[in-house]
Structure 1
Amino acid sequence: MNTAIFRSGNLQNVISLDPFATQRTEITFGPGSVIYGSDAISAVMGFYTLSPLFASNGKTHVAGNAAMRTSSANFEKTGHADIAFGGKKWAFLTSATVTDYNDQRMGSNGPDEYLRREYVATIDGRDSTIANPDPEKQVSTGFRQLNLMQKIRFKPAENWDLNLGIHYSGTSDYPRYDRLLRYRGDNLRSAEWYYGPQIWSMNALNILHSGSNRWYDNFSATAAYHFFKESRHDRDFRSTERLHRTETVDVFTANLDFEKGWKQRHLLFYGVEAVFNTVGSTGEDEDIYTGVHQPGPSRYPDGAKWHSYAAYLNYRLKASRKVTLQAGTRFNIVTLDAT
C-alpha cells in the first residue's frame, strides 16, 4: 500500500483495510528490505484478505457471514456481510462493510489535555466559541466509512491458480482533532480543520503456478493498479479564507516472484519488481463569503513521477532443527521527476 506520498504521521493508510474482510495479519520484525524494499527497513505488516474456496468432494461450496456491532464510546454502528460460492474451477467472494462513528467519548480518568471544554461553531455566518456541556465528549471526531471487496478465482488446471481482487475503501470528511484543540491567545486557533474523503482502490491480478522444474517450485506473477486520494481543508478562527489541498496518486505495480527448494534444507527466493507512481497535487483558496476560488500552493509538485525497479535474491539454510541462516541482496533503481 506504500506510495510516493506515504509517510508516518496522523493519516495512516492502514485504516483503509476492512478488518471484517481480513483473514489473517502477519508482522515480521526486523529488516524486510531485501524482498520489500527500503520502506521495510524495520518491519513488515502483511494483511491477507478473505479468499474464495473451490468445491470439495464434488459439492459446491457456499458460505457467508454477517455481523453487526455497536459501541457506547463513540456510538459506533457497523454492519458487515460477505458471501462466497465455489465450484470446481470458479470461485467468487463478495464482501461489504459500512461503519458510522459518532464523536468519541473519553474516560473520566483520562488526561485533562484531551478534554473538549469548548469548540467553534459557525452561527449566522460568524464563528463563535461554544462551551461544551460535556467536556468528555470529543466534539468533531466522528466519521463514516465504506469498504467493498470482490474476489474472483479461476483454476484452469491443477497446478495453476488465477486470482482477481477488486478493493474499494472510502471515508466521509473526518476532522483533525488535535488541530482543533490548539489555541491562539484566548481563542481556539482553527474554526475548521478536516481531511476530505480518503479513497483507496486496488485492482490486482495474481497468477500462481506450482510444479517442480529446474528454475522454481512455485511461481507468482502479480499486476496491480492502485488509486489513492486524500485532501486537507482548514480555516482559521473568524477568517474568511478556507484552504483546500488535494492529492491523488496513481500506482501501477508488477511483481515476479520465484521459490526453489532442494534437499529439504535449502530454499531460494528471487524475483523482480517495478513500481510506477504519478502524483496529482492541487491547491485552492476559497473565500467563504463571496464563494470565489483562487489557485493556491500545492502540497507536492503536481504531476510528479516516482518510479522504482528492483531485483532481489534471498537464500535460507535450515542448519539444524533450531538454527536457520538467511542471507539476501537487493538491487534497486529509483527515479524521481518532481519539477
Structure 2
Amino acid sequence: MKRYFILLSAILLSVTLSAQTIKGTVYNQLNRNVIRGVSISLEGPVSASSGTGINGDFSFKNIQPGVYQLKVSHLSFESYQTTVELGQKDLDLEIFLVPQAGSLPEVEVISASRRNSPSLNLPFASGVLNLPAQSENIPRTTPESLSIIPGVFVQKTNHGGGSPFIRGLTGNQTLILIDGIRLNNSTFRYGPNQYMNTVDPFSVSKIEVLRGSGSVQYGSDAMGGVIQVFTKEPSYSSAKTFKGSLSGRYGSGNMERSGSTEFEYSTSKMAFSGILGMKDFGDLIGGDTTGRQSPSGYTESDASLKLKLKISGKSELIIANQFVQQKDVDVFHKVRLENFKVNKMGVQGRNLSYLKYSIDQNSAVLNRIQFTGSLNSTIEERNSQKNSSQVRGLERDKIQTSNLAVEVFSDLSRFWTANSGIEYYKDEVSSIRNNINIQDGSVTVLRGLYPDKSSYLNTSVYSLQHIRFGSFNAEAGLRYNWLQASIKDTNLGQLKISPNAFVWNAGINYSIDQHHFYTSFNSGYRAPNIDDMGTLGIVDFRYELPSYDLRPEKSNNSELGYKFASHRWSFGTAVYQNRMNDLINRVQTGQMISGYKVYRKENTEEAVIKGVEGFVEWQASENFFFDMFASFNHGQNISKAEPLRRVPPFNGNFSLKYKLNKFYVKSELSWADKQSRLAQGDKDDNRIPLNGTPGWKVLNIYTGYSLGSVQLRISAQNLFNEDYRTHGSGINAVGRSLWMSLHYNL
C-alpha cells in the first residue's frame, strides 16, 4: 500500500511540475494603452476563460503543455484569435487589438478634455471613427465617413463637398481641428460648406466627434460641437525598419478611381512617414430616375509627410506637412437650377505645415509642456458663367493662417490634473474678383467676395480642470477670447472691430459598476468673422452686403446622459437643450441685384435646439455584432416663431455583422425621416423641395476578406436604387452601385 501511495504521489507531483502559466497584457493598437474588461478564452488540452484586469493583464495558471487556441474579444475592438504552443516554459504574451468605430465608451478620447481620457468616465458625449479609409463602408471622402457616427448628419451641397451637422448645427457653428490645429478660419461660412472634404481619408488615423461642447476647450465656433481629425503617426522601432502599403479603390460607372501609397521608415529615435495619393471622381450617379448627375466629378491630389524625433528621453519634436488640391469641383445644383453654363470651384485646397515640441518635466505643475506653431494656407477659386453670357467670372480667396500655442499639463495630485494654455491665430485674407469677356479677353476688376488684405487676430487663454473623487469624475474649465478684425473696405475705408467672449463649462460623471450617469453645462460662442462682416456678392441663392456692427453669437448647452458598458453590451443616451442668442441672421433689405434677393447680416435672433440621441451595440456571440443609433433634433427660431433653418430630420442607422477570422459580411440600413418643418429661408433654398425633403431608407451590404498582406473589401450600396438626398443637399446621393477597395501591405 505504501508503494502505491508513493507512486501516486510521484505521478501527481510530475503533473503539477509540468503545469505552466499563460499570461499576458492586452493593448490598444492605436495608442498602446492597456485595455481592461477583455474576454479571453483558451481552448485545447485544457479549456479556460478569463478577463483582463485594470492593468490590462490576464493569467491562466496550472495549464498543461500543448497547442491552444487563444481567443480575445471586446465590444470596442476587433476580435483576435491566435494559436499558441505551451512547452516547458511559461508564456508571456503582448496582444494588440484594433479599435472598432462608433461611440464605444471604452475608447479613449482627447478632444473632450485635451488629454487622453476614457470616454466612459467623461460627462460629455463623443464618438470615434478609426482608420476611415479602411472602414467597412469604404467611404469616398472624409465627411462621408462620419455618417456612421451617432449624432452626425452629413449634407452635401455638391459632390466635392460634405458638411457635417452636430446637434442641428453646421458650417461656422461647428469647429473642425486637424491634429489640434483649427481648420476653421475667418472666412468659414454660415451654413453648409465644403472644407472638411479637403482632408484626405487615407491620411487619417482617427476622427473624434465631441457633441454639444468645445468652446471652452478650443475656442470660437464650437456651438454644436467639435470634429477633430488625427492624422497617422509613424512609430519608433528598436531596429531600422521600413514598411509600406498600396491602396486602390474603384466605384462602378467610373464614379471613383483612386490610389494611395504609404511608407514609413523608423529607428529608435527617428520615425518618418509619407502618404501620396491621386483621386479621379466621375459624375455621381443617383438612384431610380435620377441617373448620372453631370457635371459633378472632380480630381484630387494629396500628400502628407510627418517626421518624429526623440530629442532626448524627455522631449520630442514633430514636423508635418499636409497638402490637398482639388480641381474643377462642379456645383451641380447651380448648373441645373440657376441658368449657369459653368459654376465650379476651379481649385479648392489647403497646405498645412506645423511643428510641435513637447518636453516632460519632473514637476507637478509643469509635468509636460507642448509648443505648437503652424502655417495653413487655404484657397477657393470660383468660376462661373451664365448661359448666353459672354462674361466669365473668376473669384479667388486665399487665407494664410499662422498659429502659435503653448499648453501646460499639470498633475497636481492623484485626484487632480489640469491643462492650461494660450493660443494665437492670425488670418490674412486675399480676395479678388475679375469678370473676363471671353470674346475680346478684356478683364474688369471688381471687389472680391471679402475685403482684400483684411486680417483677423484670434487670441485666447484657457484652463481645464479634471478631478476624480471616488466614483465621481468632474470636469470644469474657463476660456477668455479676444479678437481683432482689421477690414479694408473700398467704400468705408479702414475698420477695426474687437469682439471678445468669456465662456465656461462644468460637468460631473458618477460611475457605479458598469453604469455611468452624467450631466454637464457648456457655454459656447461664435465670434463674428470676416465672412459675416465683409461679404459682398452672390452666395448660394442670394446677394449679400457687408455688415460691421455684429456681436458674438452665444449658446448655453445643458445635457443629461447615461452610458453602460459590459463585455458584450454598450449603450448610451443623452437628452440636451442648446439655447442660443444674438444669432447672426441674414435679413432681406427689399432690394434685388442681378436677379438675386439682397441680404444683410444682423444679430437679431434667439433660438433653441432640443434633442435626444442614443446608440446600442451588442456582441451577440463571438461572430455576430449588432449596432444601431438614432438622433432627433427639434429646432425653433424663437424670434421669428418658426422652425430653425437647416435642422436635420430624425435619422439613424442599423447594422448587423458576421465575422469569422479574416472574413466579414455586414448589412446596413441607413434612414432619415422627411423634413417638412421649414423656415422661410429653407423655403427660399432651391436645394430643398417645395414641401420639404422626403424621407428615405437605404440598404447597403459590405463584405471583405484578408489573405496575408492583402485586404479586399466590396460594398454594394443602395440595393433598392432609392432616389434620395440628405436634407439641404444640392445633389442626390449615390444610387445602386458597387465599390471595391484593395489594400496591400508591402
Q: TM-score by structure 2 length? A: 0.40
For residues 156-235 of structure 1, the aligned pairs below 5 Å read: 156-182=311-337, 189-235=339-385
Q: Deviations over 1:254-279 (max 9, x none)?
A: 11111112332211110001101000
Equivalent position of 2:227 in the other structure: 45
Secondary structure in 2 matching 1:196? strand
From 248, 254, 267, the equivalent of 1:68 is: 248
Separation of aligned partners in 2, 1:148 and 1:84: 14
The answer to whether the 8 Å contact 2:324/2:349 transfers is yes
Equivalent position of 2:184 in the other structure: 2
**Change in 2 beyond 3 A, CA 1:327/1:10:** closer
Equivalent position of 2:266 in the other structure: 86
How far 1:73 moved relative to its partner? 5.3
Secondary structure in 1 matching 2:417? strand
Separation of aligned partners in 2, 1:280 and 1:206: 28
Equivalent position of 2:485 in the other structure: 336
| Residue identity in the other structure for 1:97 | G
Secondary structure in 1 matching 2:213? coil
**Change in 2 beyond 3 A, CA 1:307/1:34:** same
**Change in 2 beyond 3 A, CA 1:74/1:324:** farther
Q: Deviations over 1:151-172 (max 9, x none)?
A: 1111021111100001110011
Secondary structure in 2 matching 1:309? strand
**Change in 2 beyond 3 A, CA 1:65/1:14:** same
Equivalent position of 1:27 in the other structure: 209
| Residue identity in the other structure for 2:230 | Y
| Residue identity in the other structure for 2:245 | N
Separation of aligned partners in 1, 2:336 and 2:205: 38
Secondary structure in 2 matching 1:269? strand
Equivalent position of 1:120 in the other structure: none
Q: Deviations over 1:40-61 (max 9, x none)?
A: 22211111111111122xx223
The answer to whether the 8 Å contact 1:246/1:283 transfers is yes
From 291, 305, 309, the equivalent of 2:441 is: 291
Equivalent position of 1:131 in the other structure: none
Separation of aligned partners in 1, 2:330 and 2:224: 30
Separation of aligned partners in 1, 2:247 and 2:470: 46
Equivalent position of 2:278 in the other structure: 98
Separation of aligned partners in 1, 2:312 and 2:416: 28
Structure 1: where are the runs of 5+ without partners?
Answer: 116-135, 184-188
Separation of aligned partners in 2, 1:287 and 1:273: 46
Q: Deviations over 1:3-55 (max 9, x none)?
A: 11112445421111111111111111122111210212221111111111112
Separation of aligned partners in 2, 1:190 and 1:14: 26
How far 1:74 moved relative to its partner? 4.7
Q: Deviations over 1:125-159 (max 9, x none)?
A: xxxxxxxxxxx110100000111011111102111
Structure 2: where are the runs of 5+ without partners?
Answer: 1-182, 489-746
The answer to whether the 8 Å contact 2:211/2:226 transfers is yes
Separation of aligned partners in 1, 2:361 and 2:208: 26
Separation of aligned partners in 1, 2:428 and 2:413: 45
Secondary structure in 1 matching 2:354? strand
Separation of aligned partners in 2, 1:209 and 1:271: 15
Secondary structure in 2 matching 1:271? strand
The answer to whether the 8 Å contact 1:73/1:106 transfers is no
**Change in 2 beyond 3 A, CA 1:10/1:42:** closer
The answer to whether the 8 Å contact 2:352/2:377 transfers is yes
How far 1:215 moved relative to its partner? 2.4
The answer to whether the 8 Å contact 1:180/1:193 transfers is yes
Q: TM-score by structure 1 length? A: 0.87
| Residue identity in the other structure for 1:19 | P
Question: Larger deviation: 220-229 or 41-50?
Answer: 41-50
The answer to whether the 8 Å contact 2:347/2:382 transfers is no
How far 1:291 moved relative to its partner? 1.3
Separation of aligned partners in 2, 1:193 and 1:199: 17
Equivalent position of 1:127 in the other structure: none
The answer to whether the 8 Å contact 1:277/1:306 transfers is yes
The answer to whether the 8 Å contact 1:74/1:104 transfers is no
| Residue identity in the other structure for 2:373 | A
From 143, 159, 164, the equivalent of 2:298 is: 143
Structure 1: 4+ residue segments shifted above 4 A:
none
Secondary structure in 1 matching 2:221? helix
| Residue identity in the other structure for 1:163 | I
| Residue identity in the other structure for 1:101 | F
How far 1:305 moved relative to its partner? 0.4
How far 1:319 moved relative to its partner? 3.2
The answer to whether the 8 Å contact 2:364/2:412 transfers is no
Secondary structure in 1 matching 2:480? strand
The answer to whether the 8 Å contact 1:54/1:60 transfers is no
Separation of aligned partners in 1, 2:191 and 2:463: 32
Secondary structure in 2 matching 1:247? strand
**Change in 2 beyond 3 A, CA 1:73/1:26:** farther
The answer to whether the 8 Å contact 2:211/2:224 transfers is yes
The answer to whether the 8 Å contact 1:74/1:105 transfers is no
For residues 283-322 of structure 1, the aligned pairs below 5 Å read: 283-321=433-471
How far 1:195 moved relative to its partner? 0.9
Higher radius of gyration, 1 or 2? 2
The answer to whether the 8 Å contact 1:198/1:231 transfers is yes
How far 1:335 moved relative to its partner? 0.2
Secondary structure in 2 matching 1:79? strand
Secondary structure in 2 matching 1:172? strand
How far 1:297 moved relative to its partner? 2.6
The answer to whether the 8 Å contact 1:91/1:153 transfers is yes
Separation of aligned partners in 2, 1:160 and 1:305: 35
Separation of aligned partners in 2, 1:99 and 1:11: 21
**Change in 2 beyond 3 A, CA 1:298/1:288:** same
Q: Deviations over 1:62-109 (max 9, x none)?
A: 22121111011553101011100111222111111110001110111x
| Residue identity in the other structure for 1:35 | Q
Q: What is the percentage of aligned positions where both structures have the same residue?
A: 20
